[in-house]
Amino acid sequence: MKNKIILFFCLGTIAWPHFTACSSDTENSVSISEMKRVVKTLASDGFMGRQPFTEGERITIAFLADELRKIGFEAPFEGSYFQDVPMVEITSKVIDKALINVGGESFSLTSPDEIAINSPQNVKQVSLSGSKLVFCGFGIVAPEYGWNDFEGVDVRGKTVVVLINDPGLYTSDSSLFRGREMTYYGRWTYKYEQAAKMGADAILIIHESLGAGYEYNVPRKSSITSKLFIDDTTASQRCKVTGWLPAKSADLIFEKLGYKISELRAAACKRGFKPFELKASFSSTIDNEIVKNKSTNVAGILRGSSKKGEAIVITAHWDHFGIGEAENGDSIYNGAVDNGTTMAWALEIGRCFSKLKRQPERSVILLFPTAEEQGLTGSEYYTEHPIVPMDKTIACLNNDMMVPRGRMKDVTMIGFGYSTLDSLYKEEALRQGRYLLPDPDSHTGLFFRSDHFPFFQKGVPSIWAMGCFDSREHGKKWARDGWDDYIKNVYHRPSDNYNENWDWKGIKEDTELAFNIAYQLTSSTKPRSRLF
Ligand SMILES: [Zn+2]
């Protein structure tokens, strides 16, 4: 296939350096066959689902290092492409069943179908006995919004029960938090951190699909999968037990107490909501299998010319879920879309840079973080131990879950409004005959759920941008249905497989878009981040 494309731009008054790589000859343009080769390999059964700590990791990182070498990116970690990430792997098992006692009557919840819990502590066994349940609304303390869901209660040694997301989602009040768009306060990661800060022994988040942005099968599966944490002192900043209650189980508990989730939610959405103790308690014993180990971030750098001490970072996590619970006879979680296609995207951007006749002014880093699926662990570690300091890191362009479904008119911006990258993307999208679409699902908080986010938290302008919701060929409804179908039936399941019939033309355009933006960023004025 002849992949003829021109990756030029002319920006009115700004004189860009003459730039001739990735021009119209096949070798130098974005190559679909290269991207296919990469995904076909990374999502093959031989890579065993690319789980950190396993043989799958060893094969994956070796493959990525080899690809980086081939496109002429240097090894940035003292001559190595690998950055060790010290981690502790904890696999929790609930002993017997979790018990809920309501007014003297006990009933049990079976893990993981009726309750999805873990212990994130580096100890072999954790036990909670009769831990009092406290309903704390959305579990948010946000002084800037005048909000405190813990006001007047002491949750030390107790179990807090909270709702997912934030009050803005459920009200039509756009002045409440960010309205329908999820703020970081809506994320489970925030809620876990906050509950621990308040001294709670445990936190149970009520799962509702609208607020979570995914079905219960996601936390359910996560609770029976081993969890990775950076091996440092932060264990003391975690609760003894963390997890989720599916709405069904929460209903069961609340019904016995004379409440309904919908009523509690309505109350929790109102200013002045007061948390309160439920006349119920929670008991559970969890055994932990603890393995200290290291996983690996993979990165390569193309050194800049005049500003080599500054860098643009392109990120695509390499990890997925390995081999796990079988569905329809398939137990390998190949993660072709999550995140094989994106690794291909990143490598292809790198290949375009390597074809430039003249070095870019700033450096370009391709980063493949580990343990994204476990809570952005690898990227968080990288931002603490970066190749180029965070204040010299100009931008982070990330992607995740790029589904090859043909050309799209939209460039969906996950993180729209959080930095001045928006205007760069707007111009480039226009050049491709496309338009910017602020994430229509911003209530699901995707912006907080991939590797650009630790960069953003350190002040680096960061974005996750791809075509998704408006197919040039089939229109908006088709594109939306296809995405929903992916999230519902393929996301984090063994069915996330490579498909020879995929239409790559959209990802090709997304690659050209990101390359052009990254190229501009190698010499332009620095973009700026906007805070929450
Ligand atoms: Zn992913």
Confidence of residue 11 (pLDDT cuts 50, 70, 90): very low
Is pLDDT of 32 > 90? yes
Centre of ligand 1 from the C-alpha of residue 66, in Å: 22
Select from 1.10.3720.10, 3.50.30.30, 3.40.47.10, 3.40.50.620 the CATH code of 89-290: 3.50.30.30
The per-residue pLDDT for range 464-493, each reduced to its tens digit, is 999 999 999 999 999 999 999 999 999 999
Is pLDDT of 9 > 90? no
Tell me the percentage of the chain whose pLDDT exceeds 70: 94
Centre of ligand 1 from the C-alpha of residue 492, in Å: 9
* Gap between the Cα atoms of 318 and 64, Å rounded: 9
Centre of ligand 1 from the C-alpha of residue 490, in Å: 12
Closest to 449 measured CA to CA, from 356, 346, 502, 373: 373
Centre of ligand 1 from the C-alpha of residue 142, in Å: 29
Centre of ligand 1 from the C-alpha of residue 244, in Å: 21
Centre of ligand 1 from the C-alpha of residue 410, in Å: 20
Centre of ligand 1 from the C-alpha of residue 99, in Å: 34
Centre of ligand 1 from the C-alpha of residue 134, in Å: 33
Burial (CB < 10 A; 0-12, 13-18, 19+), residue 101, is middle
Is pLDDT of 1 > 70? no
Centre of ligand 1 from the C-alpha of residue 400, in Å: 5
Q: Which two tokens stand for residue 250?
A: 């929460």
In sign, the C-alpha dihedral spanning 33, 38, 41, 42 is negative
How far is the first Cα of the chain from the last one, in angstroms, to the nearest whole number?
A: 45
- Let me know: does 516 contact 312? Beta carbons within 8 Å: no
Centre of ligand 1 from the C-alpha of residue 128, in Å: 33
* Gap between the Cα atoms of 298 and 337, Å rounded: 19
Centre of ligand 1 from the C-alpha of residue 372, in Å: 7
The per-residue pLDDT for range 62-93, each reduced to its tens digit, is 999 999 999 999 999 999 999 999 999 899 99
Centre of ligand 1 from the C-alpha of residue 434, in Å: 25
Centre of ligand 1 from the C-alpha of residue 464, in Å: 11
Confidence of residue 530 (pLDDT cuts 50, 70, 90): confident
* Gap between the Cα atoms of 283 and 515, Å rounded: 53
Centre of ligand 1 from the C-alpha of residue 356, in Å: 30
Q: Which two tokens stand for residue 135?
A: 């309903």
- Let me know: does 32 contact 1? Beta carbons within 8 Å: yes
Centre of ligand 1 from the C-alpha of residue 104, in Å: 44
* Gap between the Cα atoms of 485 and 379, Å rounded: 28
Per-domain residue ranges of the chain: 26-74+303-521, 89-290
Centre of ligand 1 from the C-alpha of residue 424, in Å: 24
* Summary count for the chain: helices (H), strands (E): 14, 19
Choice among 115-119, 169-173, 437-441 with the minimum mean pLDDT: 169-173
Is pLDDT of 263 > 60? yes
Centre of ligand 1 from the C-alpha of residue 34, in Å: 21
26-74+303-521 classified as CATH 3.40.630.10: yes
Centre of ligand 1 from the C-alpha of residue 417, in Å: 22
Centre of ligand 1 from the C-alpha of residue 504, in Å: 18
| SS3 annotation, 285-340 | EEEEEEEEEEEEEEEEEECCCCEEEEEEEEECCCCCCEEEEEECCEEEECCHHHHH
Residues in CB range of 25: below 8 A, 6 or more apart: none
Full-model pTM: 0.80
Is pLDDT of 10 > 60? no
| Mode of pairing for the β-strands spanning 322-327 and 116-118 | unpaired
Is pLDDT of 226 > 60? yes
Centre of ligand 1 from the C-alpha of residue 454, in Å: 15
- Let me know: does 399 contact 316? Beta carbons within 8 Å: yes
Centre of ligand 1 from the C-alpha of residue 161, in Å: 28
Which pLDDT value is given to residue 227? Answer: 87
Which pLDDT value is given to residue 27? Answer: 54
Centre of ligand 1 from the C-alpha of residue 173, in Å: 32
The per-residue pLDDT for range 125-163, each reduced to its tens digit, is 999 999 999 999 999 999 989 999 999 999 999 999 999
Beta carbons within 10 angstroms of residue 69's beta carbon: 13
The per-residue pLDDT for range 366-388, each reduced to its tens digit, is 999 999 988 899 999 999 999 99
Centre of ligand 1 from the C-alpha of residue 101, in Å: 38
- 26-74+303-521 and 89-290: identical CATH topology: no
- Let me know: does 195 contact 239? Beta carbons within 8 Å: yes
Closest to 202 measured CA to CA, from 156, 236, 248: 156
Centre of ligand 1 from the C-alpha of residue 316, in Å: 8
Centre of ligand 1 from the C-alpha of residue 200, in Å: 30
Centre of ligand 1 from the C-alpha of residue 450, in Å: 7
| Mode of pairing for the β-strands spanning 116-118 and 147-148 | unpaired
Angle between helices 341-354 and 55-70 in degrees, nearest 10 = 20
* Gap between the Cα atoms of 299 and 82, Å rounded: 7
Beta carbons within 10 angstroms of residue 385's beta carbon: 11
Q: Which two tokens stand for residue 510?
A: 């997304």
Centre of ligand 1 from the C-alpha of residue 206, in Å: 23
Choice among 18-27, 64-73, 254-263, 520-529 with the minimum mean pLDDT: 18-27
Beta carbons within 10 angstroms of residue 122's beta carbon: 15
**404: three-class secondary structure by DSSP:** coil
Mean pLDDT, residues 358-366: 96
Confidence of residue 446 (pLDDT cuts 50, 70, 90): confident
Centre of ligand 1 from the C-alpha of residue 463, in Å: 14
Which pLDDT value is given to residue 25? Answer: 42
* Gap between the Cα atoms of 337 and 487, Å rounded: 11
Q: What is each CA distance from 458 to 392, 454, 461, 529, in whole angstroms?
A: 11, 6, 9, 10
Mean pLDDT, residues 333-341: 97
- Let me know: does 206 contact 245? Beta carbons within 8 Å: yes
Which pLDDT value is given to residue 213? Answer: 86
Residues in CB range of 329: below 8 A, 6 or more apart: none
Is pLDDT of 531 > 70? no
Residues in CB range of 17: below 8 A, 6 or more apart: 358, 361, 523
Centre of ligand 1 from the C-alpha of residue 367, in Å: 14
Centre of ligand 1 from the C-alpha of residue 425, in Å: 22
Centre of ligand 1 from the C-alpha of residue 373, in Å: 6
Centre of ligand 1 from the C-alpha of residue 96, in Å: 33
Centre of ligand 1 from the C-alpha of residue 317, in Å: 7
Residue 350's identity, in one-letter code, is G
